[in-house]
Amino acid sequence: MRTIKGPALFLAQFTADTAPFNALSSIGAWAAGLGYRGIQIPGGDARLIDLDRAAASQDYCDEILGQAAEAGVAITELSAHIQGQLVAVHPAYDICFDGFAPAAIRGNPAARTEWAVDQVKKTLTASRRLGLHAMAAFSGALAWPYLYPWPQRPAGLIEEAFDELARRWRPILDHAEDQGVDVCFEIHPGEDLHDGASYEMFLDRVGGHARACMLYDPSHYVLQHLDYLAHIDIYHERIRMFHVKDAELNPTGRQGVYGGYQPWIDRAGRFRSPGDGQVDFKGVFSKLTQYGFDGWAVVEWECCLKHPEDGAREGAAFVKDHIIRVTERAFDDFAGAGTDQSANRRMLGLEP
């Protein structure tokens, strides 16, 4: 067993154009002041990191690491969520997702995909230069519009979507292997990899690739009514990253999992600050510790009610209270009889 590292904070929900949220050194110091030991950086946010320079220059990466250390935090991972999303986009979402791409390639899906693949690869290379061993990403989605089987899906539609998703990701995963960095797909609604079954469909198609790993976020499983503790039992060998995010699902006579197109505040399923929702985090931390997860517990603040800075402050303390410092000895060692093999055999009646 190993002790989970933390607390850390995912910065994507906090970066802004005003201080202290507009530069790595200042936002890092802000996070450290709240009690965080690490920060997870969105690799596409130029206010925090120049991804092109980070992929090309070890000196620049050393400079970034120095800025974080001076601020009092470690860099835990880079995120390529947005870039990963754009690796595979169904045409129904072209206009929505074009806003995440550079202006010069909007309206050109092929160019957008090429750009996204390059960005994910650069994030992997930058991760290696920063001494990191895991990178967060979304998988993108081609089959998501056909999630519910009505009208009836034609035979082979989903299979073809996953075949294509695997074709796009396999070269990226091979690059990840070259860099010694795991790609941790956040299992997330809106992505083709949205639960264990869909993850397995993808994993089969990439030949069980060792770098095709998971980012575990129990909030998404609460909203799907999926057993998030059993999920750890099944996939613990693939779970390499952990987001501490809470959620609640309170179905009514009017709506349930699908939410009736309502805004977040009015949905049956809502994201909440850590400790304010329904996730059994004592169970989650216990399971992950039991299986030897030694990554970071990273707070991802998303809440439809609470102010983000309050959520960040409370999240640091919440994680500290849940990290289990593993024991180096058994609790009943005091009662050990100090027997040897011969004594054991006598106890079993195998020797006189």
Ranges of residues in the chain with a pLDDT under 70 are 329-338
Q: What local confidence, expressed as pLDDT, does residue 341 receive?
A: 87
Full residue range of the structural domain in which residue 245 is found:
5-347
CATH number at residue 223: 3.20.20.150
pTM of the model: 0.94
Residue 260 falls within a domain, yes or no?
yes
Residue 95 falls within a domain, yes or no?
yes
- β-strand partners of 184: 136, 213
Q: Residue 186: helix, strand or coil by DSSP?
A: strand
Residue 88 falls within a domain, yes or no?
yes
Q: What local confidence, expressed as pLDDT, does residue 345 receive?
A: 86
Residue 244 falls within a domain, yes or no?
yes
CA pair distance 350, 352, nearest whole angstrom: 7
Residue 173 falls within a domain, yes or no?
yes
CA pair distance 233, 236, nearest whole angstrom: 6
Q: What local confidence, expressed as pLDDT, does residue 77 receive?
A: 98
Residues in CB range of 247: below 8 A, 6 or more apart? 218, 219, 220, 222, 223, 269, 270, 271, 272, 277, 278, 279
CA pair distance 297, 320, nearest whole angstrom: 9
| Residues comprising the chain, all counted | 352
State the total domains in the chain: 1
Helix count and strand count (H, E) for the chain: 13, 10
Residue 352 falls within a domain, yes or no?
no
Farthest-apart Cα atoms in the chain, separation:
86
Percent of the chain that is helix, strand, coil (3-state, to 5): 45, 15, 40
